[in-house]
Structure 1
Amino acid sequence: MKSAERLQSIRSLLDIRGRVSVVELAEQYQVAQETIRRDLMKLEKNGVVRKIHGGAVSSQNKYEQSLAARFTQYIPQKHELAQIAVELIPAGSTLFIDFGTTTNVFAEHIKELSDLTVFTNSHLIAATLSGNSSCEVFVLGGRYDDQIKANLGPMVIDGIGQFFADFAVIGIGGVDPKFGFSDQNIDEATIAKAMIARSTESVILADPSKFNRHGIAHVADFSQVDYLVSSEVPDSSITAMLAERGVELKTPD
């Protein structure tokens, strides 16, 4: 791919996602990371992007807008599925909770439970749980991303590896009968994958908009998940795979 074509492709990705990372782009276009950094410098000079540590965001702040929009979408469904998920968590449990708008709603519902220990990379979730004096919260350290108010990167993965949890509670970008559970953000998917690997049971939270879609980054196969919690029953292609792989579906009665 020629440089001009790659620049246009990066612009298209930014229009869709609002945010890109150097590592991700280097892998996608099969070029050196330094080449991507030069591309981003050119785009920044043209006013297309604003460089951040490890990547760039759209100069139009579309990523921030999309994140704000995510916090206002499917609110009743997120509260409904969060109430169901809370019933899976006994007092005294240890949890990994990853960053996400759905997991943040879940945190609002578990803050009344007693004697919880929570490891999270999300500063928003930590703040949500701060009012519960019997809930011990550990924020996993790493590169702070101010766009999403969460820590990302290899230091978070290293931190996860120091602990074990009873449950990993994960928000997901897509649930697909062929590709399993995935996310659009590579950093977030890697963290979710690590949390699942260090937990006895994994709980996936997914509002109905996530069914039959997939992101670019794999999080888990169906066989690695214990519970899928949603406000609606997915279609037969997904429910068949859940039943085949032993995933318990939790929806409103």
Structure 2
Amino acid sequence: MNKSGEEPLLSLPERHSRILALLQQNGSISVTQLSELFKVSEVTIRKDLSYLEQQKKLYRTHGSAILISPYISDRHVNEKEKKNVAEKRAIGAAAAALVSQDDSIIIASGTTMAFLAREIKPVGRLTVITAAVPVTQILSQHADVDVIQLGGITRSSSVSVVGPFAESMLRNFNCSKLFVGVDGIDTEFGLTTTNMLEASLNGAMINAAQKVVVLADSSKFGRRGFSKICDLEAVDRIITDSGVQPLYLERLRERGIEVTVVDV
């Protein structure tokens, strides 16, 4: 920057390089901000972003740019469980530490939920309601854990149940905590997943729990699945890893959400 604090005029390649550097630092940046920073028109910035998007170096969305596409497609659990394993294991361990003596909890579906289940060491009598078949398989091996497996339509991609029957079962329960995984956390749009039936069931789980704890590795931030689960106002705590950009953590804490960051 010059003495006035403004960016000097840059060549086209220099401007492109600077845009990408800013995205690496901030995660997202608006067309207006870039226009003011580089002292060029918003039309010019949109052309820059269009070119960089064609080069698959960023993704344009609603007057701004981000590094990756925020939209997520559904993937099979076997594919998901191989990604970010160390992060999910650490997140699962931190979540398991929140389980109290003689607790009653809900565990939603997702690969991180299986890591949570493996880390749970029940003290007293633990009651677990879950939609995830792998979670039932893991926790039913404990003599001190009563597992209530929700019934309904089994999703082959997640090996978990969804549907109105599972939702109706939840109306009969009240638990201290819900541990839920998501496909996307967007600070404006909220929590999302790729399947609308799963999103609906997650909503019913939220209504049956006193506190909502989201388990999400850093790859989930700034992204959106097809179906919205809830706004961030419904969330009490998020457990994630140190790969999350500080800007996201700041925004979450500003919304009154307690954030736990685990080191991997």
Fold-level similarity (TM above 0.5):
yes
Unaligned runs of 5+ in 2: 1-71
Name the counterpart of 2:112. Answer: 102
SS at match of 1:251: strand
Indicate if the aligned counterparts of 2:77 and 2:159 stay in contact, CA closer than 8 A.
no
Deviation per residue, 1:33-86 (Å, 9 max, x gap): xxxxxxxxxxxxxxxxxxxxxxxxxxxxxx5xx321111111110011111111
Distance across 2 between alignment mates of 1:246 and 1:218: 20
CA contact (8 A) 2:104 2:127 kept: yes
The Cα shift of 1:17 comes to 4.2
User: Distance between the aligned counterparts of 1:235 and 1:123, measured in 2?
Assistant: 33
Within the alignment, does 1:252 sit opposite 2:251 as a pair? no
What is the one-letter code of the residue matched to 1:204? Answer: V
Looking at structure 2, the residues matched to 69 and 146 of structure 1 have their Cα atoms a distance apart, in angstroms, of 13
SS in 2 for 1:131: coil
Match of 2:199 in 1: 189
More helix by share: 1
Q: Is the 8 A contact 1:111 1:128 kept in 2?
A: no
User: Does residue 173 in structure 1 map to residue 183 in structure 2?
Assistant: yes
Question: Contact (CA 8 Å) 1:143, 1:153: kept in 2 or not?
Answer: yes
- Give the match for residue 136 of structure 1: 146
| In 1: Cα distance, 2:123 partner to 2:88 partner | 19
Corresponding residue number in structure 1 for 2:217: 207
3-state SS of the aligned residue for 1:230? strand
Q: Which whole-Å CA distance do the structure 2 matches of 1:196 and 1:177 have between them? A: 19
Give the Cα separation in 1 of the matches to 2:251 and 2:231: 10
Which amino acid in the other structure matches residue 128 of structure 1? I
- Give distance in 2, aligned partners of 1:222 and 1:149: 26
Letter in 1 for 2:87: Q
String of CA shifts for 1:186-221, please: whole Å, max 9, x gaps: 111111111111111010000111011111211121
Instruction: Give yes or no for contact 2:73–2:225 (8 Å, CA) kept in 1.
Output: no
Contact 2:101 2:122 in 1 (8 A): no
Name the SS of the counterpart of 1:175 in structure 2: strand
Question: Using the alignment, how far apart are the partners of 1:99 and 1:243 within structure 2?
Answer: 25
Where does residue 153 of structure 1 map in the other structure? 163
Whether contact under 8 Å (1:174, 1:183) holds in the other structure is: yes
Q: How big is the shift at 1:93?
A: 1.1
Q: CA separation in 1, counterparts of 2:233 and 2:111? A: 25
Residue of structure 1 equivalent to 2:88: 78
Q: Distance in 1 between matches of 2:191 and 2:73?
A: 19
TM-score by length of 2: 0.68
Matched residue of 1:188: which SS? helix
Structure 1 segment 218-229 matched on structure 2, within 5 A: 218-229=228-239
- Equivalent-residue separation in structure 2 for 1:210 and 1:247 (angstroms): 17
CA distance in 2, matches of 1:211, 1:17: 15
Question: Structure 1 residues 181 and 238 mapped into 2: Cα distance closer, same or farther (>3 Å)?
Answer: same
Q: How many angstroms apart in 1 are the aligned matches of 2:205 and 2:114? A: 16
Letter in 1 for 2:170: I
Once the two structures are superposed, what CA deviation does each residue of 1:208-239 show, in whole Å capped at 9, x if it has no partner?
11011111211121111110001226324422
Amino acid in the other structure paired with 1:177: T
- Distance in 2, matches of 1:172 and 1:131, equals 26
Supply the RMSD in Å over aligned alpha carbons: 1.8
Following superposition, the deviation at residue 172 of structure 1 comes to 0.7
Larger Rg belongs to: 2
Matches within 5 A, 1:20-169: 63=75, 66-169=76-179
Q: Contact (CA 8 Å) 1:173, 1:214: kept in 2 or not? A: yes
